[in-house]
Amino acid sequence: MPSITFSIQDLEKLIGKKLPKEKEKLADLLSYCKAEIESISDDQITISLADTNLPYLWSVEGIARLLKGVLSVETGLPSFRIEKSNYKIIVDKSITKIRPFIAGFIAKGKPIGEYLLLQLIQLQEKFCESYGRKRSKVSIGIYPSEKIQFPVHYKAVQPTAISFIPLDFTEKLNLKQILKRHPKGKQYSWIIEQFNRYPILIDEKNQVLSFPPIINSQETGKVSVKDSELFIEVTGTDEKAVSLACNIFSQALFDRGFKIYEIEVFYPEHKIKFPIAKGETTKIDYDYINELLGLNLSKEEIRHLLKAMRFGVKDDKAIIPFYRQDIMHQCDIAEDVAIAYGYNKIKTADMTSYSIGKPLKIIPFIDKVRELTIGAGYQEIFSHLLTNKELLYEKTNTPDLGTVEIKEYMTKTYSVVRTWLIPILLDVLSKNKHRDYPQRIFEEGIVTRRIKDKIEDRRSIALATSHAEANYTEIRQVIDFIMRNLGVNYKIVETSHPAFIPGRVASILVKEKPVGFLGEIHPSVLEKFELNMPVAAAEIDLTKLFG
């Protein structure tokens, strides 16, 4: 859980209201933000936040914004205004397959003090480490904009092509040297070292601003006390997450009295202005909310509670604040209504049904398969049930296997339910090329396919081994070990599969019926996943195998 530290007086100033001095009352108030007090020392408070889906609350500005609504100081959508400008970021096509997305804005206001600078750095670090997955998904750069000549250029260059003085260093290093010698380079090199080119941000005067997501330049990327104009940029691999970070930072600085100036990002084939300050609109299902919460609230009461949580409300529609991306369903709306209403006010109800739980019959069998796979030297991974078609099919040269798609997905990365597991393993291997070899991993879990008019959930297990000599024989020996210890008679019959090398792939038959396949992954598939080592893999339908 992220923890943040801030001044209570600063929180009160941002809210515009004095807060209770008693720790218990203050804790009750912070519970609306899903926060718990870790410590209080004079004016300084440290809190931990239980919800990782609400990164806007990882700042004192976000906490104050929500509490303004809870305390009825200001309800409904927070005020926000974007100033027109001619600031531009030009994205080169060379960055497309490395770290393709960027957003940003300029903030102009009073000279920043040491406390505000520390608060900005705290939000930057918490967002990048947690929501940004240790900078791999999203990273944020903060710069004194007076030193920058726009337009800024975002591109990829050879590791030794550009040199600059990285933050807190005194000598120039090229990008390759930064990864080896700078503390941040050593810490985050795993994100980009597998690429032939590295991301770079330079301005119109050819000044290096930063080497994202690694380090800023000492000369143009160091923010100091008394700077009054800031350039905030966000880069990453997830377009919506990049935009969200931009929105959260811009709203936080606007709350501090800064003017926010738009930046237009020119991609090779389209352009976008940031921040994108338009929140999505969703219908309020009053009956659903009351039924789910066991309440009998009027429409006006529900609208009032949503406004307290900083939603905009127009007729029977809720406007989601543009700095939130966690609202996916009416149950999320209902949760915010419950928070504003107060969980302690909701009466407990007696259980209306009683049952005794027990494992499905297949579970002991699955557990034995997992234990055998671990015994064969494989490490278990756990991934999301949701993924995307590019990963499942485009990267594996495989036709659609009966995909179940999400109707209103929040991000394309998680837009379908997985239909098989081998692509997931290949994706994990591609993100761990910086680790030692051999790498042997497996996953057991649910896969879902649409078969005619029905949707079927099945239990499947997939294994992958990757190292310089990984081959068909190795993976077959592992399958043989598992099957023999399960007491299953099976056959191996040569087959074809677009993800595997012809002649090096086979079907696994039990009672003359296929239950899985194994083989060596095709070089074209390895290339799409940017894997440099051979991979042998297998997948078995455990539902079929169990019978």
Same domain, residue pair 302 and 403: no
In this predicted structure, the answer to whether residue 351 has a pLDDT above a threshold of 90 is no
- Would you tell me how many other CB atoms lie within 10 Å of the CB of residue 377? 10
Identify the pLDDT of residue 348: 84
Last residue of a domain, one of 245, 274, 303: 274
pLDDT tens sequence across 251-283: 999 999 999 999 999 999 999 999 999 999 999
In a domain, 349, yes or no: no
Spell out the residues 6+ positions from residue 225 whose beta carbon is closer than 8 angstroms to its own.
Answer: 111, 112, 113, 114, 117
**Do both 441 and 469 map to the same domain?**
yes
Final residue before a domain boundary, out of 341, 374, 391: 341
Q: Could you tell me if 529 and 429 are in contact, meaning their C-beta atoms sit under 8 angstroms apart?
A: yes
At 352 the pLDDT is 80
**Coil, helix or strand for 34?**
coil
The pLDDT, as a whole number, for residue 78 is 97
Does some domain include residue 426? yes
Residue 326 lies in a domain: yes
Shared domain check, 425 and 405: yes
Lowest mean pLDDT among 107-121, 128-142, 218-232, 339-353: 339-353
**Of 424, 492, 103, the residue nearest 263 (C-alpha):** 103
pTM: 0.76
Domain of residue 10: give its range: 3-70
Q: How far apart, in whole angstroms, are the C-alpha atoms of residue 540 and residue 353?
A: 37
pLDDT by residue (tens digit) across 49-68? 988 889 999 999 999 999 99
What is the C-alpha end-to-end distance of the chain, expressed in Å? 42
Domain-located, residue 350: no
Q: Which residues contact 171 (CB under 8 A, 6 or more apart)?
A: 165
Query: Are 215 and 165 members of one domain?
Result: yes
Q: What's the pLDDT band for 547 if we cut at 50, 70, 90?
A: confident
For residues 359-369, one letter each, b for 16 or more C-beta atoms within 10 angstroms of the residue's C-beta and e for the rest, the string is eeeeeebbeeb
> At 60, which CATH number?
3.30.56.10
Answer yes or no: do 255 and 135 share one domain: yes
Share of the chain above pLDDT 90, in %: 91
Instruction: Tell me, yes or no, whether 58 and 99 share the same domain.
Output: no
* Any domain includes 474: yes
Average pLDDT, the chain: 95
Q: What is the pLDDT of residue 407?
A: 84
Q: Same domain, yes or no, for 468 and 367?
A: yes
Judgement on whether residues 220 and 336 belong to the same structural domain of the protein: no
Residue 353 within a domain: no
- Give me the pLDDT at residue 541, please: 97
Considering the domain architecture, whether residues 379 and 334 belong to the same structural domain is answered as: no
Mean pLDDT of 378-391: 95
What long-range pairs does 126-131 form, CB within 8 A, spacing at least 24? Answer: 126/2, 126/4, 126/55, 126/58, 126/59, 127/55, 127/58, 127/245, 127/248, 128/213, 130/2, 130/52, 130/55, 130/58, 131/52, 131/55, 131/241, 131/244, 131/245
- How many domains are contained in the chain? 4
Question: Are 328 and 367 contained in the same domain?
Answer: no
pLDDT value, residue 253: 98
Whether 346 is covered by a domain: the verdict is no
CATH of the domain at 106: 3.50.40.10
Verify that 259 and 286 share a domain, yes or no. no
pLDDT at 411 over 80: no
Instruction: Report yes or no on 465 lying in a domain.
Output: yes
CA atoms within 13 A of residue 542's CA, in its CB half-sphere: 26
CA distance 230 to 212: 17
For 91-119, write each residue's pLDDT tens digit.
999 999 999 999 999 999 999 999 999 99
Residue 1 is predicted with a pLDDT of: 74
**Does 39 share its domain with 172?**
no
